[in-house]
Every structure is written in C-alpha cells, then in structure tokens.
Structure 1
Amino acid sequence: LVDAGLLKPKSIVDNVRNHRVYGWYFLPADNEFPESIVDLRDIHTLPRQMLAELVHSGKRVVSLDSPYREHLAQHFTVTYGRIGLPEPYDTE
C-alpha cells in the first residue's frame, strides 16, 4: 500500500503507536528496553519451568504494569477471540 502511494509510512507508524492496529502492539521505550512492536500473530511458547528458571536467575526481559498488561491482553483477545455461534448458522 505504501509502494502504491495509498498509505504513507508515518500514518502506519502512528496507527500502530496509537494502538489502532489489532495484531500488532506498540511498547514504548524503557530505561533498559528500546521501543518495540509485538506481533501478536507470531506466537512462540516456552515451558513454564524454563520461564521460572529465567526469572529466578534474573534474566527477565520485561514486565508490563497495569493497565498496559490488560490493554495488551485485550489486543490479544481481539486478534484471536471470536463469539461462538451454533452450527449450522440458520439464514432463513
């Protein structure tokens, strides 16, 4: 869309920074962490034991305070959640 001239790069960045794009989540810079974009569609899993060991050894990467933690959870839910409807869906 940018190459076609339909969107400007700045408008895309602004929409992501203002949390208007579901599927991507903007994290502002912190003292020890640069600003980042979380791609909620690219999920990786780790065993809980591995996470516990990383935290215990002081290798935690980042943590989110409230209400940002809940805001990120909302974006995740909008990306993956859906309301279940009975099958087949009656259209008559």
Structure 2
Amino acid sequence: MDSNYPWYETVNSNSLEQGDIFRNYPVFSPEVTIEHIEVIAAGGEPTADVKVDTVDVIVLSQSCDLINRKVETVILCPLWALEDIEHDLGKNQKERNKRKEDIRQGKEPGWHMLSSDENVAQPISIVEFKRLYTTPKTVLSNFASAAGDRIRLMPPYREHLSQAFARYFMRVGLPNDIPSFK
C-alpha cells in the first residue's frame, strides 16, 4: 500500500466529517405494525416499542454540510468487517471470492469495500448502502467526544465512497429496457 496515500487517520474530537467511523453506535428502530398505522390514520397517537442495536457505522453526510451547520441529522451506513459477513456472500468459497471481487470492483452498487489498515486496527470492511440510519448531529458529536480516538477515511478514498453512495441512489430502473445483444 502506498504510504503517500493512507486510507485512514486517527482523530479525537467532536468534529464530524464524511468518512468518520464509529464503533458500536446505538441505532434505534421503531417496531411499527399495521395497528400503529391504523391508529395514526384515525387521528390517534400510538405508542411503539423501540429496538436498540449497536452497529459500526460510517458517516455519509457531506463534510461541508456538517461543518457549515447545514444539517441537523447525519446520514450513517452500517460498516461490516468482511470476515464477519463473508459466509453470507455465497454458498461456497468460489462464489464468495467472486462476490468479494465484484464488490471490490464496484460491480455491486449496494456495497462498497474499504481497505484494511493494521496501524489503526481496521479490517477490510464493507459499507452497506441498502440500510441507512439517521441520527441527530448533536448526539453523534457528543458520542464522538465520549468515544475518544476514532478513525476517519482519508481523501481520495472518502470521495470514492461518496461517489459510490451517489451512484447507488441515482440508479434508474426502466420499465422497458433495451434488449440485450447477447
């Protein structure tokens, strides 16, 4: 790996930038049922249980928006260590290797691979664009202060991640595509 272009840096502050990685961040998911929707439709105020998980996440909101106070909520995506999800990528090693290579090459738009770096204890990881979380910026900033050292994805890898995220969301599914030439 070219040491002139490190993938990560270590930061210890409450400042937030795109590419910041947080370990074990609490994410909240309301457990909503059709009954809750019916109560709302009838003008009622339902109550619901909330599931709390801790997930490794990476910040996808633009740094300029975070720094210039243009957002109150921050977009996060889950970040999975490749070794933790590798068996979900295929039923045998050949399938898993093909899928890992496809993700590495950007051929699977819902996923983006980040390199490992033993200097900051970062394994090869997969960012999952298919699942988004939002969190109040103030809550994440307070979490950053309490968490101490964390790692931040560096340019140009941060911009590569941002571009992959944009490609995932700008896809257009056509109702009638041009037939294949195969």
For normalisation by structure 2, the TM-score amounts to: 0.38
Report sequence identity in percent. 28
Q: Unpaired segments of 5 or more residues in structure 1?
A: 84-92
Name the CA shift for 1:3/1:13 in 2 (closer, same or farther; >3 Å): closer
1:16 to 96, 103, 106: 103
Greater fraction strand: 2
Name the CA shift for 1:62/1:3 in 2 (closer, same or farther; >3 Å): closer
Q: Name the Cα RMSD after superposition.
A: 2.7
TM-aligned CA deviation for residue 33 of structure 1: 2.0
Name the CA shift for 1:60/1:38 in 2 (closer, same or farther; >3 Å): farther
Name the CA shift for 1:3/1:73 in 2 (closer, same or farther; >3 Å): closer
For normalisation by structure 1, the TM-score amounts to: 0.70
Relative contact order (alpha carbons < 8 A, sep ≥ 6): 1 or 2 greater? 2
In 2, the alpha carbon distance for the partners of 1:46 and 1:61 equals 18
Secondary structure in structure 1 of the residue aligned to 2:159? helix
- Establish whether residue 45 from structure 1 lines up as the match of residue 134 from structure 2: yes
Q: Unpaired segments of 5 or more residues in structure 2?
A: 1-88, 173-182
Match in the other structure for 2:115 = 28
Which aligned segments of 4 or more residues in structure 1 are displaced greater than 4 angstroms? none
TM-aligned CA deviation for residue 59 of structure 1: 4.0
Match in the other structure for 1:78 = 167
Name the CA shift for 1:53/1:80 in 2 (closer, same or farther; >3 Å): same
Name the CA shift for 1:58/1:3 in 2 (closer, same or farther; >3 Å): closer
- Whether the 8 Å contact between 2:90 and 2:96 is mirrored in structure 1 is no
- Whether the 8 Å contact between 1:22 and 1:75 is mirrored in structure 2 is yes
- Whether the 8 Å contact between 1:16 and 1:24 is mirrored in structure 2 is yes
- Whether the 8 Å contact between 1:27 and 1:35 is mirrored in structure 2 is yes
Whichever of the two has the greater Rg, that structure is: 2
In 2, the alpha carbon distance for the partners of 1:52 and 1:35 equals 26
Name the CA shift for 1:25/1:54 in 2 (closer, same or farther; >3 Å): same
Match in the other structure for 2:30 = none
